[in-house]
C-alpha cells in the first residue's frame, strides 16, 4: 500500500491521512487502522482517484460520518474516501436547497430551521452527512429523506455524472436505489422544503432533543438504533423482553436506557460490539421468531 499511497500523493487529489485509527471515523469509536483516508477536492479529483484505484485493483470505500458502520479490529488495507470537501450549499429560491454530499445533516437541519423552512426537523439528531442520509434514506419521527429529496446528482460506476429524480431513487423505509447500487456515489442533493414559522420549527427541534436525551444513551459512543423496527413492533422492546438489556461484552453494552442501542462504554473493541449485535439478533429470533434487520454495515470482517 505504501507505493499506492505515494502515487496518490503525486496525483494532486486532495488531503491524505495515513495510518489512521478508525476510532476517529466512526460514531462507535471502534475499529482497526486504515492505510489511508483521502479527501478529494472536486468531482474531477474523485473520478481521477477512482479510476486509479480500479486500475490498480485497490479496495476502497466512501465514508460519511461513519454513523452506521462497524469496521473490524483488523487493519483496512485499502483507501477510504471522505467527501468532506463536497460541502457547498446554495438556496434556490425560497424553498429549495442544493447541498453537497459531505454536508452535516444536523447542521443542515438547524440552518433550515433558522431560515423558517420546515421538513428537516426529523434530521436534527441524525449524526450523518447528506450523502449518507440519502443512501440510507435516514429518518425519524415518521419522516425520512424520501419526503424532502427532489433530485440527486450522482457519479455512476462508469464515471458519468447524472441526475436522478425522487421517483428513480426508489425510497422506502431505510432503503434507496443507492443501497442497491453501492458503486453509484451521491455527490449532491436538491431538497424541497416548505415555508413554516421559525419559532415553531425550533420548538419542535428543542422538544425532540429533550426527548432524545431522556430516552437515548447519548452520553456514550454508539451508532444509533442497531435494528430496524419490525412491522407493528419495536426492536428495543423485543430485546428488553428477551432479558438482554444491560448485557455487557468487554467494553460494549446493550444500553440500559434503550435496548436497541449498543454503546461503547469502556474502550470496546469492534468484536465486543459485533458479539452483542449478533447475540441480540439470535436471541430475538430464537424466542419470538422475528428476524431483526440490522441497520449497521459491517466492513472488513471477511
Q: Which of 174, 208, 212, 228 is catalytic?
A: 174
Q: What residues pair up with 227 in beta bridges, in sequence order?
A: 294
Task: From 269, 107, 136, 122, select the one nearest 205 (Cα to Cα).
Answer: 122
d(CA 58, CA 65): 22
In terms of residues, how long is the chain?
A: 302
Q: For residue 72, how far is the Cα from the chain centroid?
A: 17
Helix axes 198-215, 105-114, angle to 10 degrees: 140
d(CA 109, CA 161): 27
Instruction: Say whether 225 is catalytic.
Output: yes
Instruction: Say whether 295 is catalytic.
Output: yes
Residue appearing with cell numbers 477510504:
80
Instruction: Say whether 208 is catalytic.
Output: no
Q: Which of 35, 67, 109, 225 is catalytic?
A: 225
Tell me which residues are annotated as active site: 174, 225, 295
Amino acid at each position: 500500500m505504501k507505493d499506492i499511497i505515494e502515487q496518490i500523493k503525486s496525483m494532486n487529489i486532495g488531503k491524505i491521512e495515513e495510518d489512521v485509527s478508525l476510532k476517529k471515523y466512526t460514531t462507535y469509536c471502534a475499529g482497526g487502522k486504515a492505510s489511508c483516508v483521502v479527501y478529494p477536492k472536486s468531482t474531477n479529483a474523485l473520478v481521477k482517484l477512482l479510476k486509479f484505484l480500479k486500475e490498480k485493483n485497490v479496495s476502497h470505500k466512501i465514508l460519511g460520518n461513519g454513523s452506521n458502520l462497524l469496521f473490524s479490529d483488523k487493519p483496512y488495507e485499502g483507501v477510504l474516501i471522505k467527501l468532506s470537501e463536497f460541502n457547498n450549499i446554495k438556496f434556490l429560491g425560497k424553498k429549495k436547497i442544493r447541498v453537497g454530499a459531505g454536508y452535516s445533516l444536523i447542521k443542515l437541519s438547524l440552518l433550515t430551521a433558522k431560515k423558517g423552512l420546515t421538513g428537516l426537523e426529523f434530521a436534527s439528531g441524525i449524526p450523518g452527512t447528506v450523502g449518507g442520509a440519502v443512501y440510507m434514506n435516514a429518518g425519524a419521527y415518521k419522516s425520512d429523506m424520501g419526503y424532502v429529496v427532489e433530485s440527486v446528482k450522482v457519479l455512476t460506476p462508469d464515471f458519468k455524472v447524472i441526475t436522478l429524480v425522487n421517483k428513480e431513487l426508489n425510497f422506502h423505509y431505510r432503503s434507496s436505489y443507492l443501497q442497491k447500487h453501492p458503486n453509484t456515489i451521491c455527490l449532491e442533493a436538491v431538497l424541497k422544503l416548505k415555508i413554516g414559522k421559525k419559532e415553531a420549527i425550533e420548538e419542535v427541534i428543542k422538544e425532540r432533543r429533550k426527548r432524545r436525551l431522556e430516552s437515548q444513551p447519548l452520553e456514550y459512543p454508539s451508532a444509533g438504533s442497531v435494528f430496524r423496527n419490525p412491522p407493528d413492533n419495536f426492536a428495543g422492546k423485543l430485546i428488553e423482553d428477551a432479558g438482554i438489556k444491560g448485557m455487557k461484552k468487554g467494553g460494549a453494552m446493550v444500553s440500559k436506557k434503550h435496548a436497541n442501542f449498543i454503546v461503547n462504554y469502556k474502550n470496546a473493541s469492534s468484536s465486543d460490539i459485533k458479539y452483542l449485535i449478533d447475540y441480540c439478533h439470535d436471541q430475538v429470533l430464537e424466542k419470538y421468531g422475528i428476524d431483526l434487520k440490522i441497520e449497521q454495515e459491517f466492513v472488513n470482517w471477511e
